[in-house]
Amino acid sequence: MEEIDRRRTFAIVSHPDAGKTTLTEKFLLFGGQIQVAGAVKSNKIRKTATSDWMEIEKQRGISVTTSVMEFDYDGYKINILDTPGHQDFAEDTFRTLTAVDSVIIVVDCAKGVELQTRRLMEVCRMRKTPVIVFVNKMDREGLDPFDLLDELEEELKIHVRPLSWPIEKGARFKGVYNIYEQQLNLFTPNKQMVTECVEVDVNSTDLEAHVGEGNAAKLRQDLELIDGVYEPFDHQAYLDGNLAPVFFGSALNNFGVQELLNCFVKIAPSPRPTQALERQVRPEDDKFTGFVFKITANIDPNHRSSVAFCKVCSGRFQRNEPYYHVRLDKTFRFSSPTQFMAQRKSTIEEAWPGDIIGLPDTGNFKIGDTLTQGEKLHFKGLPSFSPEMFKYIENADPMKAKQLAKGIDQLMGEGVAQMFVSQFNGRKLIGTVGQLQFEVIQYRLEHEYNATCRWEPASLYKACWIESDDAAELEAFKKRKYQFMATDIEGRDVFLADSSYVLQMAQIDFKNIKFHFTSEF
């Protein structure tokens, strides 16, 4: 129970460019994992961010895949997942949210709540995941803090309570008053060092000496207003996912980050029960259970191997013990389970609920697989969504057919995109959520598998999985839509509609066929 209580597993999510990766860097700095914080868009600093380790991420300054990192802080063991903000990789982020116990949402103080943040919040609300909001970039001009709080309540449909408060913003930014610990933190811009904290009683004249008369008066007014308008911080309401504490700061200048971290480890939940189809799995159960929520190929370029990320849900995982793989009905032993610091990894002897371990994978795992000590369990909630963009993938170099086939196979197993094989002519069709994924696939095939591909346009509207209890009608449908039928990598039937009209007509004509837009049904 001690090990479970000191675990904190969370994801950092937001719209692109709000500062997730920069915030992750600063957390690692406080955790003592890195000595100098790297920059996402580095000009003067030679070091790139730890969590953006792929070549394409360093070049473009964006995150393409979720990175897993762990460190110890103040007696707590923290597992942190830095997710891509770009909506083209939303599926990776949605799946990551199934493996965490709480979430930190980063909001840019100038732009407020953006589209992607809203969509991610819906997923958190669906699962009742506790949320903390960090308002970033206070050292730039932005919206008024009170307007921002109103926008957060309206857009994210959640009650908020500020636990720190900014004094001025932009070029006049003086610092943050920490309401949770009742301290004043003074701001000195520095990207590598930590700022000083001063213990100040708000009602004493010491405050004027630090921030000036005008700011002192305004701060007192604001704090009165906050106490008048917002209810006191209620820990249980936060754990139930109904209240979001709000912090202000600047991740780039390392300001307000430590206050966020100190408060986070105290109030965030330790690992929570996970719902399986058969029963609820509690972290304190004796026997080990876990599920795979992500697979990454080529973390180490020297070895063409994949790693399956497994979230431990209950019991204790031990190295070299036999574990039962439910889907394959086989037993496996893992001689080198690893823990991650983005790309660096170290072998571990044991892991506890809340931890995320990497298991070497030679093609035995798929996203959503369950490992247990003999019990048949199935965890749900790791869907593939219906793709909206389609292209045929063709081999550009006949000599490299084998490399291309292996590359496509591994990248699809990762869940980067979905592949369908046309039943009409056997061509391979790749479906994605966004244009950027096609570029990432092409880039990774070339640089990691030494294979070149070319894209050919396919004008399709949507892919839907079909099923029916009426075998005769299903057969008639397949005959009539023969040109538009395909199979996915699981071998299930998929109907590729070429327009919304065709899809509506099919739904009207064939009453007994169910059309699904996610792969879980």
3-state secondary structure 214-264: HHHHHHHHHHHHHHHHCCCCCHHHHHCCCEEEEEECECCCCECHHHHHHHH
pLDDT digits 0-9 by tens, 330-373: 898 888 887 765 456 677 788 888 888 888 887 788 888 888 88
The reply to whether 247 and 288 lie within a common domain is no
- What is the band of 425 on the pLDDT scale with cuts at 50, 70, 90? confident
Residue 59 predicted with pLDDT over 70: no
Q: How far is residue 322's CA from residue 314's CA, in Å, rounded to a whole number?
A: 16
Looking at the structure of the chain, the number of domains it has is 3
Please give the pLDDT value at position 168.
77
The reply to whether 21 and 119 lie within a common domain is yes
The reply to whether 263 and 341 lie within a common domain is no
Calculate the CA 19 to chain-centre distance.
14
Report pTM: 0.78
Task: Note whether residue 421 is domain-resident.
Answer: yes
The reply to whether 163 and 288 lie within a common domain is no
Write the DSSP symbol of residue 284.
Answer: T
- The most confident of the ranges 61-75, 112-126, 280-294, 336-350 is 280-294
pLDDT digits 0-9 by tens, 485-506: 999 888 888 898 888 898 888 8
Residue 48 predicted with pLDDT over 60: no
- What phi and psi values does residue 197 have, to the nearest 5 degrees? -115, 140
Structural tokens at position 349: 């002897």
Residue 27 predicted with pLDDT over 60: yes
Please give the pLDDT value at position 15.
76
355 closest CA partner among 92, 12, 99: 99
Strand duo 493-497 + 462-468: pairing? antiparallel
Q: Provide the CATH number for the domain around residue 287.
A: 3.40.50.300
- Which residues form the domain of 154? 2-171+231-267
Question: Which of 372, 397, 431 finishes a domain?
Answer: 372
Q: End-to-end alpha-carbon separation of the chain, Å?
A: 36
- Cβ-based burial of 273 (10 A; exposed 0-12, middle 13-18, buried ≥19): middle
pLDDT digits 0-9 by tens, 305-317: 678 888 888 888 8
User: Phi/psi zone of residue 27: left (φ > 0), alpha (ψ -120 to 50 degrees), beta?
Assistant: alpha
Please give the pLDDT value at position 383.
63
pLDDT digits 0-9 by tens, 222-260: 888 888 888 888 888 888 888 888 888 887 777 778 888
The reply to whether 348 and 418 lie within a common domain is no
Question: Which of 342, 372, 402 finishes a domain?
Answer: 372
pLDDT digits 0-9 by tens, 431-444: 887 777 888 888 88
Please give the pLDDT value at position 39.
45
The reply to whether 483 and 355 lie within a common domain is no
Q: How far is residue 431's CA from residue 400's CA, in Å, rounded to a whole number?
A: 23
Q: How far is residue 224's CA from residue 116's CA, in Å, rounded to a whole number?
A: 33
* Between residues 67 and 167, the one the model is more confident about: 167
Across-strand partners of 161? 245
Please give the pLDDT value at position 138.
80
pLDDT digits 0-9 by tens, 152-200: 888 888 888 888 888 777 777 777 777 777 667 666 655 555 555 566 6
Residue 470 predicted with pLDDT over 80: yes
Please give the pLDDT value at position 41.
44
Q: How far is residue 491's CA from residue 503's CA, in Å, rounded to a whole number?
A: 22
The reply to whether 501 and 360 lie within a common domain is no
- What is the band of 53 on the pLDDT scale with cuts at 50, 70, 90? very low
User: How far are the Cα atoms of 19, 111, 185, 187 from residue 213, in angstroms, in the given order?
Assistant: 33, 30, 17, 17
Residue 35, number of CB atoms within 10 A of its CB? 9
The reply to whether 340 and 413 lie within a common domain is no
Mean pLDDT, the chain, integer: 79
Q: Is 363 within 8 Å of 330 (Cβ atoms)? A: no
pLDDT digits 0-9 by tens, 407-424: 888 888 777 788 899 888
Residue 87 predicted with pLDDT over 70: no
